[in-house]
């Protein structure tokens, strides 16, 4: 018998061969739709984009946060088909959509499946997010302890306080100005004009962004993501599947994808920046760069989690786009938009596009996906 240590089998390459999404909408609007309709549209669009039938899909990973158990089955059965495949439901807060994609990719990487549907949807309530179950421990109680011990907690919605105080800590530590965060909101609204799927497609001046309704402290409503209804889907496939169905011209490889959860620094360093996820974002990015062989200089376009303008600036630093503490300089240089070094959130970001949790990638357990230039099968 060999005395060499156990080594895992090499992982297979994974490709995106089809995508689809709905327009994101304000919850409760007159033309609002239920989740099976939203999910059906996104799934059908992804299958049409891939030019494959639903019967070719081996498994489905379905993400949503607000809904009863097995909504994924109901979302798929009567719009895409009932072929008896495993349908795995995922609930992981703002990273729910990313987690569904992460699971789908792993199924193909490990040789368990050849083609997997990653589907995410959300039908949300109006207004800020609240607690659904008041008779048990909330998952973020220890995170809130960090906030309470440093800045206290008011009656305002909790999420804007967490990310607002993270921005305040950044200003105190590095001299960042309120205007830098406002410029990010201005930039994302400007980008949204070109995205027909965006919940909002209005352009504002910087003064209008700063003078809009205050949500918490310096964070105005035009720097905060709205709640939204919507759905998105991606068809993932192995290299063998791509070749079998002749999808080489449209297949885009996922070169690296990492998922991180909290590290001790989230709680032990008494930092709101760390508490909202800076270190896990930084580590996820580091692993992605390492596995892909790429650096920030190889990336042209970035979509990142701008639940609030403050988090976008923090994520610039976590991704290594600039040294820690210099996110404001990157903003002032215009290196986050067209004509600059990167185009960041060309979709308009969550701030404009909307944030149906299951249908958008996220930060709470921050998966980070990077694609380099090209990325298609030759």
DSSP 29: -
> Other CB atoms closer than 10 Å to residue 69's CB: what's the count?
8
Q: Six-digit token pair at 62?
A: 């379905």
* Cα separation, 248 vs 252, whole angstroms: 9
CA angle 345, 192, 328 (to 5 degrees): 45
DSSP conformation letters of 215-234: EETTEEGGGBPPP-BEEEEE
Helix, strand, coil shares of the chain, percent, nearest 5, are 40, 15, 45
Nearest partner of 238 among 9, 8, 16, judged by Cα: 16
Active-site entry in 71, 94, 307, 365: 94
> Other CB atoms closer than 10 Å to residue 21's CB: what's the count?
22
- One-letter-per-residue 3-state SS of 315-376: HHHHCCCCCCCCHHHHHHHCCCCCCCCCEECCCCHHHHHCCCHHHCCCCCCCEEEECCCCCE
* Cα separation, 177 vs 167, whole angstroms: 9
| Residue 94 appears among annotated catalytic residues | yes
Q: Which residues of 291-324 are buried (b: 16+ CB within 10 A; e: fewer)?
A: ebebebeebeebbbbbbbbbbbbbbbbbbebbeb
Instruction: Measure the N-to-C terminal CA separation of the chain; round to a whole number of Å.
Output: 41
Enzyme catalytic residues: 94
């Amino acid at each position: 018998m060999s005395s060499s240590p156990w080594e895992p089998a090499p992982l297979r390459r994974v490709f995106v061969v089809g995508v689809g999404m709905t327009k994101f909408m304000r919850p409760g609007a007159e033309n609002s739709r239920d989740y099976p309709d939203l999910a059906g549209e996104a799934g059908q669009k992804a299958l049409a984009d891939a030019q494959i039938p639903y019967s070719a899909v081996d498994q489905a990973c379905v993400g949503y946060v607000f809904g009863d158990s097995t909504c994924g089955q109901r979302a798929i059965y009567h719009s895409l088909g009932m072929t008896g495949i495993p349908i795995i439901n995922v609930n992981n807060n703002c990273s729910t959509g990313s987690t569904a994609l992460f699971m789908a990719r792993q199924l193909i990487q490990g040789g368990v499946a050849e083609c997997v549907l990653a589907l995410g949807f959300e039908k949300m309530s109006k207004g800020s997010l609240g607690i659904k179950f008041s008779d048990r421990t909330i998952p973020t109680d220890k995170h809130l302890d960090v906030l309470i011990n440093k800045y206290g907690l008011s009656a305002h919605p909790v999420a804007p306080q967490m990310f607002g105080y993270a921005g305040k800590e950044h200003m105190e530590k590095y001299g960042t100005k309120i205007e830098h965060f406002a410029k990010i909101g201005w930039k994302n609204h400007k980008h949204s004009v070109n995205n027909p799927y965006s919940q909002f497609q209005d352009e504002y001046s910087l003064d209008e962004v700063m003078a809009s309704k205050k949500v918490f402290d310096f964070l105005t409503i035009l720097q905060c993501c709205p709640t939204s209804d919507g759905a998105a889907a991606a068809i993932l496939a192995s290299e063998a599947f791509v070749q079998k169905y002749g999808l080489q011209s449209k297949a885009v490889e996922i070169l690296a994808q990492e998922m991180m959860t909290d590290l001790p620094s989230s709680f032990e360093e008494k930092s709101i920046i760390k508490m909202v996820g800076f270190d896990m974002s930084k580590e996820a990015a580091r692993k992605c760069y390492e596995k892909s062989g790429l650096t920030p200089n190889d990336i042209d376009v970035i979509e990142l989690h701008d639940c609030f303008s403050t988090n976008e600036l923090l994520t610039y630093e976590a991704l290594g786009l600039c040294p820690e503490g210099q996110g404001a300089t990157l903003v002032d240089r215009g290196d986050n938009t067209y004509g600059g070094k990167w185009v960041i959130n060309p979709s308009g970001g969550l701030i404009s596009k909307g944030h149906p949790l299951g249908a958008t990638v996220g930060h709470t357990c921050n998966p980070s996906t990077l694609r380099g230039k090209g990325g298609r099968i030759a």
